[in-house]
Amino acid sequence: MQIRHLGLADYEPVWRDMQAFTDARTADTPDALWIVEHPPVYTLGLAGKPEHLLRQTDIPLVRTDRGGQITYHGPGQLVVYLLLSVQRRGYGIREMVRRIEAAIIDTLAEYGVDAHGDENAPGVYVDARKIASLGLRIRNHATYHGLSLNVNMDLAPFGWINPCGYEGLQVTQLAELHTPAPTLAEVADKLIPHLATRLAPTEEETA
């Protein structure tokens, strides 16, 4: 997989670049992971309900084309966009989500954090608090959008929404669970190999 580090970049131009990359894909286009950090922004999924934004703020709201409800991105959150051929993987989207969650759980375990998924609510949780969100879109037989992992950020804007559409859902971040707080680059260096390993199809799946 090709790895791109985009640094701090506005949400909407990166989203449009993902769409263009996906639309231009051919059978030979390498899969890619784009690593990015966004300035403050709320994003609302295709079926997202505006009432999950509980108060008006200066944070922009972007209606996007991923699955899911409303979430928040901001500095100190690691975002990884997964531009992957579905056909090349040999397994379905539900299995892909499970494997992405497993890669995040593996990464958090390296920091001594015991995390888990939830079959009824995609994402990764520590106890009942959400630490990572997932949202994907399939187009041209490939995925785009991806995951966000809270590392060391201002969590207050999550309190102004129903995160992922769940009233009262609490969020957490790695900085609250591990001392010293790691940098985004350090967490990315651990997460990317776990994603590559977990997402790799088995010989049976590619047969």
Give the tokens for residue 136.
């994907």
Catalytic residues: 164
71 is in an annotated binding site: yes
DSSP helix, strand, coil percent of the chain (3-state; round to 5): 35, 30, 40
- Say if residues 123 and 164 touch (Cβ distance below 8 Å): yes
H or E element, residue 20: helix 11-23
Q: How far apart are CA 153 and CA 194, in angstroms?
A: 23
59 is in an annotated binding site: no
Strand partners, 139: 142
Residue type, 3: I
H or E element, residue 88: helix 86-89
133 is in an annotated binding site: yes
Chain centroid to CA 25: 21
70 is in an annotated binding site: yes
165 is in an annotated binding site: no
145 is in an annotated binding site: no
82 is in an annotated binding site: no
Q: How far apart are CA 56 and CA 59, in angstroms?
A: 8
146 is in an annotated binding site: yes
78 is in an annotated binding site: no
Using alpha carbons, list the distances in angstroms from residue 112 to 99, 106, 126.
20, 10, 11
66 is in an annotated binding site: yes
From the list 166, 137, 205, 185, the residue with the least C-alpha distance to 70 is 166
134 is in an annotated binding site: yes
Annotated binding site for substrate: 66-73, 133-135, 146-148
Binding-site residue ranges: 66-73, 133-135, 146-148
